[in-house]
Structures are given as structure tokens and as C-alpha cells.
Structure 1
Amino acid sequence: MDKLSVMQAFRRIVDRGSFTRAAEDLGVSPALLSREIKLLEESLGSTLLIRTTRAMSLTDAGRVYYDEAAGILDAVNGVETRIRAGAGAVRGHLKVNASSSFGQTVIAPMLPAFLETHPDIRLSLSLDDRVVDMVEGGFDVSIRIRAAMPDSALLARKLGTMRQRIYAAPAYLDRAGTPETPADIAPHRVIGFLLADHLATWSLRNGTDSVSLDLDPPIRVGNSLVLRDLLISGMGIGTLPGFVSDSPVARGDLVRVLPDWELPAPEIFALTASRLGMDAKVTAFLTALRRALAA
């Protein structure tokens, strides 16, 4: 027995003063309503309605049940109304998870304008280079950078594509020489990214040409910003995503090595837990993030 449905039916019967009129309102047969009320009375062990051929009246128990049921139904309707009214409002606690490098170089710079535009948002930004369980962590959205997302109960929305290229400091190249072909990488000190699929194997592409380099990086780090700083200091050659390399390249701290070659470009995904759609605060955040990535 669906208690809320039965409560609604009982309330409608009393309000309309008739099984027939209540049945018409609810789109069911009077016989079905009669059976439901009989089952309700049997479950309660009490008579709620006294019916004759000419009239219907509430018993004392029926009046108590009607008053309490009306309060419960009004409370449920009130909650639903407030939820619907707030569904389009950009407010509430937004919990975001991302990698340290992406969070510091892409998300952090966009936050002042985003929070100024949406002052009713409370933000928790968790930066972690490990892949976390976003449902267990209670995150509304998690930013992941992958070649592809595996099938799961999470919903992945593609935000953009990330360039992945080879860089070194001018001073390092002046000292160690500038590679002219992919094969020239082998004698160089390679700094590897521990969390990347290409830690020990670089699959390079140049148009339709491709080559695979098997490497054994003597220096391996698990953070792109640390890798960037090591490259700037002249420690070797390594790969960086575009959102990390753009600024030091613009300043002249790094230069691109083998400019005609690059690694496969992974995708930037936003993962959310619900397949029923996003609430307004998540939608607003992802809209701002897409703008930041486009800029």
C-alpha cells in the first residue's frame, strides 16, 4: 500500500464528500477507491468513514486521520515547491575536485569572477592528483583528464581537449643540444610524469607519421607544476599540458622541443554523479570553466 497515495485519496474523498466525485478527480474508479479505503481501515484496525446510501461522515478516528494526513501532505507539497523553486537558483554548497595543476592554473584564476557573480555559493575546492571516489567524497563535480572515460554510473561531460607537448629550458638545450628528430631524445635526461599513461613510452605524432619512444626517466614526479619547475631550472626534457606550459613559454622560460611532434591529446571531462541533470550551481560552474578553457 502506497501510504501517501492513500492519504491523498482519503483527503480527496472527505473534501469532495463523495467517492464518485473523488474518483473522477483522481481518474480512477469508485470501486478502486472503496477497496483502498477498506484496506486502509483494516491496516489501522479502525473505521474512518461511515457511509450510507445518502450520506458519508467521519468517525472520531477518521477526523484524526484526516487532520494528520492533511498536515503530512501539505508538508510534502511544501518541500517539493521549495525544491522546484530553488532548482534554478545558483546557490548552495558546491564541492569540486580536480588535480593540483589544473586546479591551480585553470580553476583558481577563474574563481574570483565566478564567486563575485554568484555570491550565494559556498565553495569547497579539493585538489588531489589521485583519482578520488567523488560519490564517497560528496563532490558535485570532478574534473578528470583522460584519453577516454570508462563506463560507470557517473556522467562525463567533455569540456575540451588538452595539448600535450615536449618542452625544455633554453639553457638546458644550449648545454645538452637540441633534438632534431624523436630518436635524438634518447641521450637526454627525461623528466617523467608519474601519473601519465606516457611515463615510460612517448607515442609521438607528426601528421600521419608516428613513432614510439621507450624511455626510462631518471627523474619522476607526480605533479605537473613540479615537473614544470624542474624543466625551467634546466634539469632536462619533459612533457607538459598546455594549461601548464603556456605561461612559461610566453615568458621564454621554456621552449618547445620537436615542434612538429606531439603526444596524443587527452580530453578534459567534468564528472557528475547524477544522470538526471545538473543543478544550477554545477551548470554555472561548468559554464565558467568552459569560458576559462576557451580563453
Structure 2
Amino acid sequence: MVNPVCGNLRYNCCNWPGEGVAFGPGPYELIREEQIMKRTIAIAFAAVGVIGPAAAAITLTDGNSLVEIDETSQAGMGTWMVDGVDHLFQQWYWIRINQSPEVSVDAIGAPNVTLYGSNIAVISYSNALVQVDMTFVLTGGTPGSNTSDIAESIRVINRTDRAFHLSLFEYDDFDLDGTAGGDRAEAFGAPVTTITQWDSSRVFVGAVPPVTHWEIASFPSILDRLNDANPDNLLDTGSPFGPGDATFAMQWDTQLAPGGAFIISKDKLIVPEPTTIAAIGFGLAALAARRRRK
């Protein structure tokens, strides 16, 4: 990791007070290291300001479905067409390192995109602190079925020689059946593994491992806090919700060792109503099996 004080590639290269002392760092050194980590975070994420013009959105197609992703901004995944109806306004990811503010993953650095066929995209972002690799797999239903599935895998790698606390956030704003409002939503599991939202159609969003925190709230409450330049946690509130203009989010907290990786697997399934929560059971089992194989 680049030392922000001297520019050397070794984080601890400078002759900081207490370096090499057998008793380990004292209070001054711990405070200094925390200050330097905060400065490094700011420097790493400020670099996004030099990115050039936005690239065209990624388009995935399969069966009766089409997905569009703007990988250059937090608009993120903003289209999920199923049998000609767009059910999604916005879905994207944010991260937080230690007590720095949350930032959307597109602020990490310029995206690197790899497409496999018409229905799989891998998007990677990296800087001096972290690398984030995101895989999206679209599986459309047969025409007229009004069903569609998106599987996602997110991997965050610590690129530094210091452990840090990572918070990963996933945010969803569905406009089911092409309309905002009239939504109902509910969280399931203890701890929560699934949030479902329904109108005339229903979407299930399931994830493994289980979340650390979650929240369901009216637009734009959650989005505002993700972007308010303060470190915020989700509130574990809002279930059941509605009717209203529902949004929801999931949060995972972990300590990430130097060179370590944290992986989540997610599945989003749209089906016609009425459908029960049991409909996603097979999907969650598949997600768990997929994680064990990694």
C-alpha cells in the first residue's frame, strides 16, 4: 500500500515514532496509524475524479429478460425488463472501510468489464486499498411467464498490509410492474437472509451469508444516508412495510485481513403474484452450495 506520508510502496517505511520497539506501538503511534489510514482512504477514493467519459451501459439478455447496468456511476443496475415490463429503478453496492463514509463501488476506480455470452457480466474495480469483483448472471424465463432471475457474486479483497473493518451494503429500489408506490415488503430469517417486495408481481432477494444489518424504508431515506458523507449503519427496522414506495438494503460487516477476501452470493427472483416465501428456498440452497464450492 502506498504510504501517503512519504510515497513509498511500504506502508510502514517512514521512521514513525516507536518503529521497531519490541513493546509494539504506543497510543501516539496507534492514533497516527489511524490518521494515516483515513488519509489513505480519502486519497484512494478521490482518484475517481479523473475518470473519463462514461461508458455505454452493459446490456444482458436471456429468454424473456433484459438487464442494463451503468458500471460508471451509482445508478448501477437500473433496468430489469421481464416480458416487456421494467421492474427496477436502482440496485447497487456501497462499501465502508473502518469509520470512513460509505462510497459506491464505482468510486473505487475505473471499471474493468468482461462479458461472457449475452447474459453474464463481470465488473471489477480496484485502488490501493481494495479490489471489488462483481459477477451478474441473468436467467430469463420463457416468454409470457413473467419470471426472471439474476444471480450475483460479490468479492472484496484487502490489498493493503493492514487489517481493516469492512462494511458492504447492497441497495434495492424496485418499481414492480413499472410503477412506484403501492409496494409492500417484508424481511425473513433470524438473522435475515431474504427480503421480499410485492405488488402485482413479487421479487425475492436472498443472500448468503446472512446479513449483519438490514432496513426497509420509503424512498429516499436509505439512499440519502448511504450518500451523506457520514458512516451509517442500517437500522434493522421497517418490516413489514407498506403500502408505499419501498426501498431496502442489506449490510455485511467483517474484519478483513491483509490480502484477505470477503464473498457474498445473492439471488433476485421475479415471479407473478400470488407466491409464497417458499419459492426462494431452492435458490438460497443453491447459493449456499455455490459458496461452499468456491
Q: Quickly name the TM-score band, shorter chain normalised.
A: under 0.3
TM-score (norm 2): 0.22
User: Which is richer in helix?
Assistant: 1
Larger radius of gyration: 1
